[in-house]
């Protein structure tokens, strides 16, 4: 795992912990304080080899997100609900 990927995962973990603890950004609480409150290490420090193998073995493919909505076929066109 690259150093950039490790920092990204640690940042996501930190963000999730702050959300769980309901810590607002204006409270100016350090990352070390958040870690001491939760009694957790960073993701990449807790088990670096296991985490790296998990991340590198997973097939990480981009997910396509479609904005907007799709309209379902009308019931009469699909052959259902005839005569209503």
Residue 71 lies in a domain: no
Residue 43 lies in a domain: yes
CB distance 39 to 32 below 8 Å: no
Residue 81 has pLDDT above 80, yes or no: no
Number of domains in the chain: 1
Q: Write down the H helix ranges in the chain.
A: 3-20, 31-38, 43-46, 48-57, 75-78
pTM: 0.55
Residue 46 lies in a domain: yes
Rounded Cα–Cα distance for residues 55 and 59 (Å): 8
Query: What pLDDT was estimated at residue 82?
Result: 56
- The boundaries of the domain holding residue 39 are 3-57
Residue 50 has pLDDT above 80, yes or no: no
Residue 1 has pLDDT above 60, yes or no: yes
Residue 82 lies in a domain: no
Residue 30 lies in a domain: yes
Residue 23 lies in a domain: yes
Question: Which band of pLDDT confidence, cut at 50, 70 and 90, is reported for residue 41?
Answer: confident
Residue 8 lies in a domain: yes
């Amino acid at each position: 795992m690259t150093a950039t990927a490790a920092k990204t995962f640690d940042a996501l973990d930190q963000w999730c912990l702050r959300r769980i603890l309901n810590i607002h950004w204006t409270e100016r609480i350090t990352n070390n304080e958040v870690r001491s409150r939760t009694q957790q290490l960073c993701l990449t420090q807790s088990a670096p080899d296991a985490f790296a193998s998990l991340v590198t073995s997973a097939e990480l493919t981009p997910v396509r997100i479609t904005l907007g909505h799709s309209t379902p076929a009308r019931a009469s066109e699909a052959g259902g609900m005839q005569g209503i």
